[in-house]
Amino acid sequence: MTPAPAPAPAPSSEPHSNNSNNRPRIKRYPSQQQRSGGTANHHGARRMTHSNTSNRPYNKKGLHQSRPGAATRRIQRALHRPMATRKRTKRVPDYFPKPPAENVARIVPLGGVEEVGRNMTAVDINGDIFVMDVGFEFTGEDETPGIDYLLPNTAYLEKNKDRIRAVIITHGHLDHIGGIPFIMKRIGNPPIYTQKLTSLMIAKRQEEYPDVPKPEVIIVEPGTERTISNTKVKFFSVTHSIPDAMGISLVTPQGNVVITGDLKLDHEGTDPLEHEKKTWGEVGKDNNIFLMADSTNAERDGFSIPEQRVHETLGEIIRTVKGRLIIGTFASQFERIIRITEFAEQYGKKIITEGRSIKTNIEIAQKAGMLKVKNDTIIPAQAVGDYPPDKILILATGAQGEEFAALMRIATKQHRFIQFTERDTIVLSSSVIPGNEVSVQKLKDNLYRNNVTIINYRSSDVHSTGHGNAGELVWVNQQVNAKFFMPGYGYRSMTASHAKAVEQAGRPRDTIFIADNGNVIDIIDGKEMKVHKERVPNSPLAVDGFSIGGIQEVVIRDRQLLAKDGMFVIIATVQLKTGRLKKSPDIISRGFIYLRESQDLLNQARLLIKKTVEDSTRGMNPIDLDYVKNVLTDTMAGYLFTRTNKAPMVIPVLIGV
C-alpha cells in the first residue's frame, strides 16, 4: 500500500502554492520521486534509479544551498497540480476474442515462442480447446531476484476453461511439464494425455506438491489416434533427448494442425533413418493446414550429431579408460544414462549415482521398464573404496557448474566419500547452456586443480543436442508439407532463423508467421491465415515462494535495488504532542555501508533525521506520521546519495508515543 499523501493545500491566489497552517514549508533535497520518477512503497521507502553524481554544497544545517534546477521545479509543479488536471493513462482492457467459427482453426501460443521454456500453446478447433504442454521457465537471479519460476499466462484459458477438453504433453522435460502443479486448477483440471514415461515424471513431480490434487492422466501410444470430444487426435513418435517424446496432429474438417514438440532426427550423414522417413511420411500424407515446429537449434546449419554416435563414443571410453571414470550429464538424458548403465554392466563396472535428479530418473526408467539393471550394479558412494578404481563408474549431476551439485562438491573436496585422484577421467557429456559459461569455467578450473583428465564435447563426440539443426528442420517442414507454418520453441533469433531456413528452401514467405506470445492466428477454410491485431494476455506468471501471480515490477525493482545498494533503516520514536524525538534515532544498514567505519556519516545522519522530523512536524496538529515518513525518506535519500554516490532503499520506521 502506498503511504497516504500529504493533504491537499489550501486554495491560494498564488499558482501551485502549498501554504497550510499545519504544513510549514521546509527546505529539503529534491525528493527521490522527483529525481527518479520512483514511487513510494508501503514502508514509505522510495526506489532510486537516478544517475545524478553532482556534489552540491551544504549549508550549516546540512541542506542544499542552491535552489532546485528547472527540470526539478517542473516536476514539483506537476506533483502539486490538482489531480483533476493531471494526465491519466487509460488502461486498455485485456483482449479475449470470441470463439472461432466452425471453418476456423485457431492457434494461440501462450509461451515458448519468445524464450526457451515456458511452453504452452492453445489450439481452438471444432468448438474445443486443446492445450499443448504446460511448462515453466527458470529465470535469471539478476533479472528477477527471488522468483522461482516463470509460467505461461493463463488468463485466456481461464476465460475459456469450459471449452478446454484436454492437455496434451509432448514429453517429460520441465519446460513442458513443470507448470502442471500450478496451472491445472486454474484451467479447470482437464485430463492430461501423454505417454507412459512422461506420466511417471508428472507423478514424481506431483509428489513435491502433496496439497495439489493429482491430475487425471491418460496414457496414449504413438501411431494411435483418439477422438476427444468432437476432435480426432493423432499421436506420432519423434526423436528427442528423452524417450516417449511425441508430436500431435489435430484433425479438422479443413485439414490438420500439426505440432511437433521438441525434435531432432536419427540420421546417417544427412540421410534420415528409415523409421524417421516412415513416421514423417505418414504425417505428410494428410491434408495439413498448419505446422508448429521446434526452433531451438535453427541457428545451426546442417544436421546435428546423432545420439547413436555419442553412445558409441561413450561405450569406447567406458571400455578403454584406466582408473575411475566420472561422467557428468543432464539427468533428463534418459536414453544416454540407460546406455551408460548397460555399458557399465557389459564391462564389469559398478555404478555410483550422485545427484538426486539422476537417482530419481533412474528409478523412473526402471519403473517404466526402460532400464533393467542387476541388483549389485549400483552401489552407494560410501562403498567406493571397496572396489578397484578400474571398476568404478560415477554418474553425477552438475556438468553446468551448479555450486551445490555433485561434480562441484567433489571437485572442491566437499564430498564425504569421493575425492578425485590423478588417475581419474572426467567426461562432461553435455554442452554449455547459454548463461552458464562462467559457472562451467569455474567447474573446469576446479577439476584441473585436481590434475584429472577431462573429456568434453569440444574434444570428442560425448554429447549431442536433443534439438535438430536447420537441415533437419527443413527436411521435417518439407515432409509435413503444411499450408502454413509457425516456428516455435525458442527465442526470436531461433524462430526467425527457422523461418529463414525454410523460406530459402522454397516455402513462400506469405505462408510463414513468426509469432510472439499471445498472438491469435486463425486459419480460415484451410486456405487463409489471419493474425489478430491484438494479443491475448501474455505477460508471464511468477512463482514466488508460495504465491503465484503477475510479475510485479515494483517488487522486482525493490529487490534489485536492495541487491545493488542495500538498505538504510531509520527507527525513531516521535512524541505526538511535541513532534520531537524521544531519543536519538537507531540506524540499521545492510549492504550499504559498514557502520563501524562510517561514524561521521551516521552522526551527521542522526542530526539530519532529528531536524527533518522536528521541522516537518512544527505546527502540525495532529501529527501525520505518513507525511513525515515521506519527507524523511526524500531528505535522507538525497543526503546519502550525495555523501556516498549510492542509492540505498531508505526505510523510515516512526513510532508515535
* 8 Å CB contact between 76 and 486: no
Q: CB under 8 Å to 526, separation ≥6 — which residues?
A: 105, 252, 254, 255, 287, 289, 483
Q: Which of 343, 328, 333 lies closest to 365, judged by CA?
A: 333
DSSP state of 469: B
C-alpha cell at 583: 531519543
CB atoms within 10 A of CB 145: 15
- Residue entry with cell 551516521: 602
Per annotation, catalytic residue among 175, 294, 558, 634:
294
Per annotation, catalytic residue among 467, 522, 558, 624:
467
Alpha-carbon gap, residue 236 to 364, rounded angstroms: 22
C-alpha cell at 653: 520506521
Phi, psi (deg, nearest 5) at residue 123: -120, 120
Enumerate the H helices of 371-510 as residue ranges. 406-411, 437-448, 470-480, 492-504
Catalytic, 148? Answer no
Enumerate the H helices of 224-329 as residue ranges. 274-285, 307-320
Alpha-carbon gap, residue 472 to 270, rounded angstroms: 8
Alpha-carbon gap, residue 605 to 54, rounded angstroms: 19
Q: Which of 307, 312, 340 lies closest to 240, judged by CA?
A: 307
Residue 76, CA distances (Å) to 14, 20, 89, 154 in order: 15, 17, 20, 41
Cis peptide before 622 (omega within 30 of 0): yes
Q: Which of 309, 300, 302, 370 lies closest to 335, judged by CA?
A: 370
Q: CB under 8 Å to 510, separation ≥6 — which residues?
A: none
* 8 Å CB contact between 212 and 185: yes
| Amino acid in the structure at residue 624 | D
C-alpha cell at 227: 477422438
Phi, psi (deg, nearest 5) at residue 517: -60, 135
Catalytic, 294? Answer yes
Q: Which residues are catalytic?
A: 294, 467
